Amino acid sequence: MCLSRSNFCSIIDSVRWDSLTDADAAPGRGRRAGTLPLFEAGFEAGAVARTLGAPGFRGMTFYEVRARTIINQVPPASRMAFRWTINPYRGCSHACVYCFARNTHTYLDLDAGHDFDSKVVVKVNAAELARAELAAPRWRGEHVAMGTNVDCYQRAEGRYRLMPGIITALTDAANPFSILTKGTLILRDLDLLAGAAEVTDVGLNMSVGSTDPELWRSAEPGTPSPQRRLAACAAITARGLRCGVLMGPVLPFLSDSPGQLDATVREIAAAGAAHVSPIVLHLRPGAREWYLRWLAERHPELVPRYRALYGTSAYAPRGYQQHITEQVRQLAERYGVGRASPAAARRVPSPRADAGRTHRDSGGPRRGSGAPRRDSGAPRRDSGWPTRADVQLSLL
């Protein structure tokens, strides 16, 4: 069915999701949570699928579903530094060839390759669920991380606008949260984020693994350029909010040379990032197959070197990871990452005309270390290396 006077076409698509369950999806539900389906039976024959005629969405299908829960518990065995996440989307139009979340699409009878890039599940009731679950008596106000599975500011967010409602719910509950994104659309919500930082801890991080333009076009074809992401970091910092950079993933033999690391950290410092956290490529199931296929097509000479480096593991050897981390630490110190004041960061070009405005001081006490600060004109004395609070999103 094509909607009149609209760029949307809708169909009722039969997707076998009714039997899917999530054992630890929602706080305060106890062991019975495992008996709940992930999505409500809101449509007689499955999810509502929509396609858009706009150029940026061609070839994509959006499956609109009503989720049962939205605050998800991280499995206890996970390496993550946080326990709870919100993911309003599944699948991602950023189409990063290395995305570790690819395998989650196979749980929906979709593939981890092209389907992950082009068939995006939209949890249309995400904001109302967030508000209800944050108000649940058993919810203890723990940190909630976003952008840890797929990007919450991918292109679909421009159409569905789920994040403003989620941020507002978290703000009203004074609940600490963090966002990791490659999406410059986060600038749309700067006012909301500044308001949230007045009442709770807010951690913001842009993801920039490399500033090499050719590698970006090949490995992250659906994302804004690294330079636009760093301009967004500068705009956030100019608003008086701390914004760090997750420098990842570092791709072995493609973005890990001393010169490449130097160039990337230098641009991160110029953007006024509060800290930089490097992370080396993970090759988990689903992502591994798709990435190695891309590698064989674009850089076939590197396939044997990857097999030798990773073997059957999802992770590069610890020694290699430590070597990258130490190089980035030294570069961050050399270029002064974390020592730029918001005033200095404003000199970096920003895609928003109002990026140079400082946040209005409320004149009252502020709650939460993530609150905007008035610029004193003096350089900040951060080390350029993430604190324990900053590292919330660095252990993906």
Contact 148, 393 (CB under 8 A): yes
Q: Give residue 109's pLDDT band: very low, low, confident or very high (50, 70, 90).
A: confident
Percent of the chain with pLDDT over 90: 64
Contact 84, 178 (CB under 8 A): no
CA–CA separation, 270 vs 212, rounded Å?
16
CA–CA separation, 153 vs 159, rounded Å?
11
| Residue 39 or 317, more confident | 317
Whole-number pLDDT of residue 55: 66
| Residue 388 or 123, more confident | 123
CA–CA separation, 227 vs 266, rounded Å?
12
| Residue 32 or 217, more confident | 217
* pTM for this predicted structure: 0.78
β 202-207/144-146 pair status: unpaired
Contact 202, 228 (CB under 8 A): no
CA–CA separation, 152 vs 338, rounded Å?
25
Q: Is a pLDDT exceeding 60 seen at residue 361?
A: no
Q: Give residue 36's pLDDT band: very low, low, confident or very high (50, 70, 90).
A: very low
As a whole number, the mean pLDDT across the chain is 80
Whole-number pLDDT of residue 75: 84
| Residue 386 or 378, more confident | 386
List, in sequence order, the alpha helices (H) in 136-200: 155-160, 163-172, 190-197
